[in-house]
Structure 1
Amino acid sequence: MTGSVLFDPLLPWPLIAALGVALAAGIALALWRGLSGWPLRALAGLAILAALSGPVYQVENREPLSDIVLLLEDRSASQQLADRAATTSQAAEDLAAHLTARPNTEVRRIPIPDGADNSGTQAMTALAEALAEEPRGRIAGAILLSDGRIHDTDRAPDLPAPLHLLHTGRETDWDRRLTITNAPAFAILGEEVTMTLTVTDDGAAPEGVTTVPLDISIDGEEPRRFNVPLGRDIDLPLTLPHGGRNVLQFTTPEAPGELTDRNNTALVQINGVRDRLSVLLVSGEPHAGGRTWRNLLKSDSSVDLVHFTILRPPAKQDGVPVRELSLIAFPTRELFLEKIDDFDLIIFDRYKRRGILPSLYLDNVRAYVEQGGAVLFAAGPDFASADSLYRTPIQSIVPARPTARVIEQRYRPAVTDLGQRHPVTAGLEREFDGEWGRWMRQIDVEQTSGDMVMTGQDDRPLLVLDRVGEGRVALLASDHAWLWNRGYEGGGPQLELLRRLAHWMMKEPELEEEALWAEATGQKMRIIRRSLSDTVGPVIITTPSGDTVERDLDEVSPGRFETLFDGPEIGLYRLENGDQTAVIGLGPAAPVEFEHTIASATPLHPMLERTGGGAMALEDGLPRIRDVRAGRPASGRGWIGLTPRNAFETLSVTQTPLLPVWAVLALIAALTVGGWLREGRR
């Protein structure tokens, strides 16, 4: 129990002070006039002021509360290296036992796991949450068992007691790490991209090492080995081999004695894109559909278009002098012999034999396709005539044979069952709200190869796609696609169809009909298989450690199969389904927990200094624990300090007036009457 005198005034303190001033003035007046009873009257006034201030004697019944010590145990990934986990666990048990044995002390053990989304060790966040659950007036100190590599120092709370770090590092620890900076997310095919790579040794590394081996692998292929200098930035120029995602893996082999090889590998995923797509558009004659092709290709800023329209064939004799023609000569030799390989796509729009392109040039177009080029035939009535391009050396690469019949009837284009699975035409119905408008003309052809993805009148082939050698060929057996663009009978998805068609022919990865790839979100991947087949087998997943897992694929839409897979580890995964293969990297290129693995108190120095705590190595043994006053240094050679809080809980409070009311009134009356009587006798 504790007792103290308190005041509970009956009037506001300013008013009591004013009454005190008035009392002093009255006493001064009595002295000036020489009144003999002034001392008794002064005492009566003071008794009145004392009564108005309400003095009471308060007695509290208190129960002392124990001090709380926060013991934080770092269980993040970097704490699993070497013997750190066992050292931390044993030290936590011993410290908890020592602290519990201290009088008036409680221990709160707080585990610190890995932070979500590669955020590292969130020790200060855990400390702040623990403080929020405990009364600050009882916190005597906090002890952190960790390697000191925390990643949320900006969230350090205002700790009312010392913070100490007991780190798990050893003087002999060393580690080799590989880091990559300025790795781009995109790169242009055919152009060099430069990344900066550094291999560094930290800690007590072996002396005399100047170079280290470096393995570089692209898309999981056999790596190539180089020797690179140690501890220096290396500018590494690379040229991507293909469009789409390129997975690059850089690895330096594990050296004997280093802490871990988890930071010896870096994965970089770069999307290869084309800088410019070069297209040659040859129109046999002006017509309404020619503008459609031109507008489509010109609207794409990544397309370089060369467009020629044959207005005056060489055999035409109209008497117009050549010098009055505002046209240029068709550079056939330059385009079809010298520079044909510079084009990604050649489009023949209603072109027929007119004596401009000799058979040698057309045979060169055939070779261009077989070697990886792409040709699109937009057929008109000329394709069914005796001057058709089909009746040239190009015939061997055209996927359909004309019957010499031109169908001049209304029909509505339709996507075939196969077309529902092909990326060029899959989902076209969803791209356009409403029923498609009809076309007026179709060239009757008989399919000889390839895939028929759209049909027209009486289910005759309308759009046929084929692969020839390394290249691609498409035949659109109508010149009335422009009717959709004009909105005839509501129009249709003309621009989307032609865009997909052109990009499929230019081998854009997202439009491959047979493809396997994966999309990663953290440690989870969505595996996607696109195929023209009705069924596909299970996908075989090879983990970074070499284990294999099979997963069945479910068809989520025509031609698209998917499954989800949670990767058990960080690194490069290989996927295989039939003849399709892919690779993907899961997890960060350099996990933050392994960017720096050598134990250090540097990240915590500001907070240790602010709270008066210290940092010590557990390999030197557990420190002694002392009590220190608040504001005093709380660490020294072989010891750490805790600040006793002397907290208590008040169970009850009793207040008693110093004098009863009747006694106060009697005292005031006696003094007043005494002063009056003394003055009266005089």
Structure 2
Amino acid sequence: MNGSVIFDPLLPWPVLWTAAILATAFVVFAVWRGLSGWWLRGLSAAALLLALANPSLQQEERAPLSDIVVLIVDESASQRLSDRAEQTQAAIARVEAEVAAMENTELRVVAVGDGEGDSGTLLMTALSETMAEEPRARLAGAILVTDGQLHDIDRAPELPAPLHTLLTGHSTDWDRRLVIKNAPTFAILDEEVMLTLQITDQGAVPAGQGGQADLSVRVDGGEPEVFTVPVGQDLDLPVTLRHGGMNVIQFELAEAAGELTDRNNAAVVQINGVRDRLRVLLVSGEPHPGERTWRNLLKSDSSVDLVHFTILRPPEKQDGVPVTELSLIAFPTRELFLEKVDEFDLIIFDRYKRRGILPTVYLESVRDYVSAGGALLIAAGPDFASADSIYRSPLSQILPAAPTARVVEEGFRPEVSELGKRHPVTEGLEASWAAHGDEWGRWFRLIEVEADKGQSVMSGPEDRPLLVLDRVGEGRVALMASDHAWLWHRGFEGGGPQLELLRRLAHWMMKEPELEEEALSAVADGQSITVTRRSLEDTARSVEITGPDGTVTVLPLEETQPGKFTAEFEGPEIGLYRLNDGELDAVIALGPSAPKEFEETIASGDKLEPLVDTRRGGILALENGVPDIRRVREGRVAAGRGWIGITPREAYLTADITIVPLAPAWVFLLLAALLSVGAWLREGRR
């Protein structure tokens, strides 16, 4: 029970105050006149005013409320390093026991994990939300169990009670981190771009660990190259992209002895390689209707630089026309085929045969160009089956099929072979043409060849090879055993997908990753990873996925279309994932390869110190033991060596209120009358 006096005036307060002023004036006047009963007159006026104020006794029946202590527990990824999880559990158990031993005190425990979208540790957000659910009048204190690396300090709430931090970790902790400071999204092939890296050490770095570190660089899952680089300095790394599409560059630091984690020792940079210009050398032999088609196709693309080598007059043709009227300048044959052949991205021989115009050394140069990584396309005509066939030259060492000397001249519709339905160059060509018609237009000539290597992806009549692809050394070769592809371009019988076929051929020979017949790739969408394995083999596939924490998951793949196996995988956390199917490797990063949680891994109270000091709290390291909890009065220092304090709030809930007058109104009137009579009698006797 709790009682207090309240007033419920019978007249408005302004009227009472006016009356009080007048009464005071009359008493002062009485004093000035020397009336001996002035004090009785004052008491009488006071009694009247008190009666008008109507004093009452208010009694409250109160139910005391318990004090609330909020315990915010950091369970983010950085809290799983070293023995921080064990330190956290020990602190929770001790705080629960201490609070349970206190009378009229409750504990609210709130766990905080990693923020969504790599937003880090949101301790202050959790504290604000918890405070919004509890009455501020009952909050006796807040305790944070954390490593001090939070990312929302600007959202700290106004606290009516002490705030304390129990810091996990150890004073001897140290960590090494790889930082990508600058990396372009796009780059032009064969042009140097600069990446900027830095290796930083944090914490108590032991003697002998600073100075230098081993950095491995892996491009597109290939063999790593290891470099010894300085620590704490910006490293400018020149990179030259060798193929179009997405280039994945993986950097990884060797784990140093004693460092907290290797989760921030790796980084992945994905750069989309684009070609400035595609340089093509078209070598035309005997004139035919398709020659102009090849030239028009290549010239129609503004990104193609075309050099067309054609024979205006073969040696056997003697018509008496002066050479000066056939060409304005001599064609730079030696310069193109010997000195600058490596500058071309693609060389096309269109119905070319040996005529003694290109010496054998030039064709040997083309062969070496392909073996070193170049691309060669042969569009064969009847000349390929003749005695002067280009096959009977040094190029035979790299061509995937040999002519039988037979030319099949009959109408046929090109078909994609069973292998071709799995090969990315021809896979889905029929579906891509479905909007134009059900069937492709016919061709009328096929050069019979025997494909002794490579892959035959298109066929003609009686399953004879029509398009054969092969890899030679570092380069690639394609043989089209017909010179009637131009019929599709002219729209004969509805035409066919010549443009799409040529585009895919060129991109396959340019080693575009999306057209690799044996490839392992992954695409991320949020936390979901789509894994795709392309293969020419029709066998069951599975992929081992190694997560950022080292957990290995075996993911079975399903064949969704010929040659393509896919599956979905939900990544449990942000970071770098490594994929391996026993033959190929791939890497993909969900969010940054080193999440925000691992940008700063050393436990520190620096970020929380200003906020804790404002509330007279303390920051205590758990490696020194879990502190005791004491009650302290509001405004006092609430932390010391080995202890932290909470402020009792003494909050209550009013269950009932009773209001009774202090005295009846007639009592005050009687008292005022008696005092007035007393004043009159005193002054009358005088």
TM-score range, shorter chain: 0.7 to 0.9
Q: 2:99 maps to which residue?
A: 99
Q: Where does 1:421-436 land on structure 2 (aligned, <5 Å)?
A: 421-432=422-433, 433-435=435-437
Q: 2:448 maps to which residue?
A: 446
The 8 Å contact of residues 523 and 586 in structure 1, kept in 2 or not, is answered as no
| Cα distance change, pair 194–313 in 1 and its aligned pair in 2 (3 A) | same
Measure, in 2, the Cα distance between the counterparts of 1:615 and 1:461: 78
1:215 offset after TM fit, Å?
Answer: 4.3
Letter in 2 for 1:404: V
Letter in 2 for 1:63: A
Q: 2:265 maps to which residue?
A: 265
1:536 offset after TM fit, Å?
Answer: 4.3
Q: Where does 1:200-211 land on structure 2 (aligned, <5 Å)?
A: 200-207=200-207, 211=211
Q: 1:218 maps to which residue?
A: 218
Q: 2:138 maps to which residue?
A: 138
Letter in 2 for 1:595: E
1:94 offset after TM fit, Å?
Answer: 2.0
1:620-672 CA distance string (max 9 Å, x none): 44445455565665445655443333322232345668899x989x99xx9xx
Measure, in 1, the Cα distance between the counterparts of 2:552 and 2:109: 40
Letter in 2 for 1:415: V
Verify: 1:181 aligned to 2:181, yes or no.
Answer: yes
Q: Where does 1:48-87 land on structure 2 (aligned, <5 Å)?
A: 59-87=59-87
Measure, in 1, the Cα distance between the counterparts of 2:662 and 2:430: 95
- Percent sequence identity is 55
Measure, in 1, the Cα distance between the counterparts of 2:263 and 2:545: 23
Residues matched between the structures, number: 648
Letter in 2 for 1:265: N
Q: 2:417 maps to which residue?
A: 416
The 8 Å contact of residues 293 and 489 in structure 2, kept in 1 or not, is answered as no
Q: 1:584 maps to which residue?
A: 587
Q: 1:306 maps to which residue?
A: 307
Measure, in 2, the Cα distance between the counterparts of 1:361 and 1:478: 25
The 8 Å contact of residues 215 and 223 in structure 1, kept in 2 or not, is answered as no
1:439-461 CA distance string (max 9 Å, x none): 35332232411433234567654
Letter in 2 for 1:101: A
| Cα distance change, pair 349–7 in 1 and its aligned pair in 2 (3 A) | farther
Measure, in 1, the Cα distance between the counterparts of 2:341 and 2:268: 35
Measure, in 2, the Cα distance between the counterparts of 1:631 and 1:313: 105
Measure, in 2, the Cα distance between the counterparts of 1:286 and 1:467: 29
Measure, in 2, the Cα distance between the counterparts of 1:451 and 1:609: 74
Q: What is the CA RMSD across the aligned residues, in angstroms?
A: 4.8
Letter in 2 for 1:133: E
Q: Where does 1:620-631 land on structure 2 (aligned, <5 Å)?
A: 620-623=624-627, 625-627=629-631
Q: 1:164 maps to which residue?
A: 164
Measure, in 2, the Cα distance between the counterparts of 1:222 and 1:492: 41
Decide which moves more: 417-426 or 592-601. 592-601
Verify: 1:648 aligned to 2:652, yes or no.
Answer: yes
Measure, in 1, the Cα distance between the counterparts of 2:655 and 2:466: 93
Verify: 1:504 aligned to 2:508, yes or no.
Answer: yes
The 8 Å contact of residues 263 and 595 in structure 1, kept in 2 or not, is answered as no
Corresponding residue SS for 1:603: coil
The 8 Å contact of residues 421 and 562 in structure 2, kept in 1 or not, is answered as yes
Letter in 2 for 1:280: L
| Cα distance change, pair 198–394 in 1 and its aligned pair in 2 (3 A) | closer
| Aligned equivalent of 1:605, options 603, 606, 609 | 609
Q: Where does 1:19-418 land on structure 2 (aligned, <5 Å)?
A: 59-184=59-184, 190=190, 192-207=192-207, 211-218=211-218, 227-237=228-238, 245-255=247-257, 258-262=258-262, 265-271=265-271, 273=273, 275-276=275-276, 277-284=278-285, 285=287, 287=289, 290-291=292-293, 294-296=296-298, 299=301, 301=303, 303-313=304-314, 327-352=328-353, 356-379=357-380, 389-390=390-391, 394-395=395-396, 397=399, 399=401, 401=403, 403-407=406-410, 409=411, 412-418=413-419
The 8 Å contact of residues 442 and 493 in structure 2, kept in 1 or not, is answered as no
Measure, in 2, the Cα distance between the counterparts of 1:186 and 1:309: 37
1:3 offset after TM fit, Å?
Answer: 4.9
Q: 2:580 maps to which residue?
A: 575
Measure, in 2, the Cα distance between the counterparts of 1:351 and 1:50: 126
Measure, in 2, the Cα distance between the counterparts of 1:82 and 1:540: 27
Letter in 2 for 1:597: T
Decide which moves more: 438-447 or 186-195. 186-195
Q: 2:681 maps to which residue?
A: none
Measure, in 2, the Cα distance between the counterparts of 1:222 and 1:617: 45
Corresponding residue SS for 1:535: coil
Q: 1:32 maps to which residue?
A: none
1:581-602 CA distance string (max 9 Å, x none): 2142556433433332322111
1:280 offset after TM fit, Å?
Answer: 1.1
Q: 1:596 maps to which residue?
A: 600
The 8 Å contact of residues 441 and 495 in structure 2, kept in 1 or not, is answered as no
1:142 offset after TM fit, Å?
Answer: 0.5
1:559 offset after TM fit, Å?
Answer: 0.7
Decide which moves more: 537-546 or 471-480. 537-546
1:560 offset after TM fit, Å?
Answer: 0.9
Scaled by the length of structure 1, the TM-score of the pair is 0.78
1:386 offset after TM fit, Å?
Answer: 7.2
Measure, in 1, the Cα distance between the counterparts of 2:611 and 2:413: 75
1:240 offset after TM fit, Å?
Answer: 6.3
Scaled by the length of structure 2, the TM-score of the pair is 0.77
Measure, in 2, the Cα distance between the counterparts of 1:148 and 1:403: 80
Measure, in 2, the Cα distance between the counterparts of 1:205 and 1:478: 69
Measure, in 1, the Cα distance between the counterparts of 2:645 and 2:395: 90
Corresponding residue SS for 2:437: coil
| Cα distance change, pair 571–317 in 1 and its aligned pair in 2 (3 A) | same
Letter in 1 for 2:557: L
Q: 1:614 maps to which residue?
A: 618
Verify: 1:557 aligned to 2:558, yes or no.
Answer: no
1:574 offset after TM fit, Å?
Answer: 5.7
Measure, in 2, the Cα distance between the counterparts of 1:650 and 1:546: 57
Q: 1:515 maps to which residue?
A: 519
| Cα distance change, pair 406–369 in 1 and its aligned pair in 2 (3 A) | farther
| Cα distance change, pair 17–456 in 1 and its aligned pair in 2 (3 A) | farther
| Cα distance change, pair 160–431 in 1 and its aligned pair in 2 (3 A) | farther
Q: 1:37 maps to which residue?
A: none
1:547 offset after TM fit, Å?
Answer: 8.9
| Cα distance change, pair 539–622 in 1 and its aligned pair in 2 (3 A) | closer
Q: Where does 1:13-24 land on structure 2 (aligned, <5 Å)?
A: none
Corresponding residue SS for 2:584: strand
Structure 1, unaligned runs of 5 or more: 29-42, 671-682
1:164-201 CA distance string (max 9 Å, x none): 11212444444444444324555666555544444444
Corresponding residue SS for 1:141: strand
The 8 Å contact of residues 436 and 491 in structure 1, kept in 2 or not, is answered as no
Corresponding residue SS for 1:357: coil
Corresponding residue SS for 2:151: coil
1:248-296 CA distance string (max 9 Å, x none): 34324423xx352425722334447364543212344474663565445
Structure 2, unaligned runs of 5 or more: 26-43, 674-686
1:333-358 CA distance string (max 9 Å, x none): 22223322332211123445565434
The 8 Å contact of residues 407 and 448 in structure 2, kept in 1 or not, is answered as no
Decide which moves more: 644-653 or 179-188. 179-188
| Cα distance change, pair 560–141 in 1 and its aligned pair in 2 (3 A) | same
| Cα distance change, pair 541–209 in 1 and its aligned pair in 2 (3 A) | closer
Q: Where does 1:460-479 land on structure 2 (aligned, <5 Å)?
A: 461-479=465-483
Decide which moves more: 435-444 or 510-519. 435-444
1:508-558 CA distance string (max 9 Å, x none): 222121223444567875443212222245556678999977654321111
Measure, in 1, the Cα distance between the counterparts of 2:610 and 2:516: 56
1:69 offset after TM fit, Å?
Answer: 0.6
1:501 offset after TM fit, Å?
Answer: 1.0
